[in-house]
Amino acid sequence: MIYRFKLDFFHEVALEPGIPQLTITDIYDNKQQRYQLHIKVHNESKKPIPLLMGLLDSTGRELIEERLLLITQAEMKFEFPDMATRPIPSLFRSFSAPIYLYQTVSNDDLLVLMQHDPNLYNRCEASKKLILNLVTEYCANQTINYPKALFSAYRSLLLNNDIEPWILAELLTISSEEELIASFEKPHFELLATARQQIQKTLAEELKNDWPTLFKRINEYLPNPSPQFELFDIKDAGMRRLKEVYYSYLQHIDFPTTKNALLKQFKTSLISNMTETISSLSLLATMGCAQEMDSALQQFYDYWKDDTHAINYWFRIQASIHSNTVVKRVEQLLDHPAFDILNPNKVYSLMGSFIMNPYGFHNSSGQGYKLVAKIILVLDKLNPPLAANLTQKLIAWEKYDELRRKLMLECLVFINKEAISTDVKNSSHKGIKAD
C-alpha cells in the first residue's frame, strides 16, 4: 500500500505542542458481522492525527490490507464490514503519531499481536504491554494468573530462527524496573521489582529445555570473542543483544554457570569488544556478584582509564547498580580522580544514571535525594543550566508515595532556599508551587 502524503504533514504533527491523548474502544456486532473503532481525542489537536492500522484474526491472519486513517475530529467512528469474527486491532503501527493511548487490550490479543503482527514495531509494543499487564495484576493482587497460551507463545518465538535476532531480543526482553516505574501513575517500587523478578524467573523455568537451542544458534553465528574493529553488522549486533537477553534468563535457572560465562566473556572481550564487555559488567552488577563485579570494574578501569568515553560507561554502570549500597558508591565516585564536575558528560554519566536508578535516587532513606540536592547546589555556582536540568527530576514528586513525596519536596525547598542562580530558583520554585 502506498500512501501519498507530503512528509511535511507528518513533520508538523510531530512538532505540534502537546501530545494528543486518545481513548479507543471497539464494538463487534456478531449478527451484522460489523466491527467499529470509536476514537475520542481528549485534548485539542489542530492537525489530523495519522493512524496506521491493520486487523488480525485470532490466528494472526490479516483481515484487511494495512490502511492509514486520519483522525480529524474530537470524536470519530470507523466501521469495518464483512468481519466474520471479532478482529484484533493493530493500531498506530510504526509509531505513526506521537500520542498517549488509552486502550484496553486483553492478554490473549496481545499474545496474538506479539507472535504474528506483521508490523515489527507493534509486535514489540505488544510484548511490552503484555508484561505491563502482568505486573499491574501483581501490584493489585500480589499474584499473577498467567494466560494459558503465554509459555507456548514465548517458546514459539524462542525457537523461531526466521525472526531477526534484534527483533527476537526485543520480544524476549522484560521491561526494566525503570521503564515499568515510568508506566505507572503511582508506582509501588517494591511490588514492581518483585513482579518483574517473578515473571522473568517463571519464564526462565518454564522454557528451561528450550534455552540451549537458542544458545546454540547464538554461538554458531558469533565468533568468540566477537571482533570490535570491523564494519557494523546489524545481525552481529542483534546476536550480541540476544546473548545478553539469554544470560538475563539463565541466571534464574543456573546462577553459577551464568556468572562463570559472564566472567569469561568479560576477560575475552575486554580488549576486543566494548559491547560485550559492558554487557557482561552490567549483568554481573544486576546479579549482585559484588566481589566479581568490583574486580572486573577495576580491570576495566586499569585498561581503559585513558579513554574518556569508556570511563563514562564505567561511571554509568556503577550508578545503575540495583542495590541499596549504590548511594554510598556514588558518593565515593564523586571524589574519584576520573570524575570532573566541570564536565557535563561526566555529570550525566554518573548523576544522570543515578537519578534514573530507583535503588539510588528513590532510596526510601532519602539519602539519594539529598545527594542529588547537594550536587545541584554545587553545580548551581558552576553550571546553572545543568543544575536546573537535574532539579527537574525532583519536580515529579506528586507521582510517588507519601514518604518519597515528603522527602523530595523537602529537598526542593532546601534547593530553592540555598540556590543563587535564577535557573535553579525558577526550576525548584516550579516544583514547590505544585504543592
Question: Domain segments of the chain: what residues?
Answer: 1-104, 106-212, 306-434
Four-way CATH pick for 1-104: 1.10.1660.10, 2.60.40.1840, 3.40.50.1110, 3.40.50.720: 2.60.40.1840
Type of residue numbered 307: D
Mean pLDDT for the chain overall: 93
Q: Running DSSP on this structure, what letter comes out for residue 173? A: P
pLDDT of 44 > 90? The answer is no
Peptide bond into 225 cis (omega under 30): yes
User: What are the DSSP E strand ranges found in 152-222?
Assistant: none
Q: Running DSSP on this structure, what letter comes out for residue 350? A: I
Segment holding 214, helix H or strand E: helix 211-221
Q: Is 126 exposed, middle or buried (0-12, 13-18, 19+ CB in 10 A)?
A: buried
Give the model confidence (pLDDT) of 223-233 as tens digits.
655 555 566 67
Mean pLDDT of 391-412: 94
Segment holding 80, helix H or strand E: strand 75-80
How far, CA to CA in Å, does 169 sit from each of 70, 121, 225, 243, 252?
33, 13, 20, 8, 18
Give the model confidence (pLDDT) of 120-150 as tens digits.
999 999 999 999 999 999 999 999 999 999 9
The Cα–Cα gap between 241 and 167 comes to: 10
Q: Running DSSP on this structure, what letter comes out for residue 59? A: T
The Cα–Cα gap between 373 and 376 comes to: 5
Mean pLDDT of 329-344: 98
- Residue 2: pLDDT band (50, 70, 90) is very low
Number of residues that this document lists for the chain: 435
Are 177 and 196 in contact by the 8 Å Cβ rule? The answer is: yes
The Cα–Cα gap between 435 and 430 comes to: 9
- Residue 1: pLDDT band (50, 70, 90) is very low
Four-way CATH pick for 306-434: 2.60.120.260, 3.30.70.1230, 1.25.50.10, 3.40.640.10: 1.25.50.10
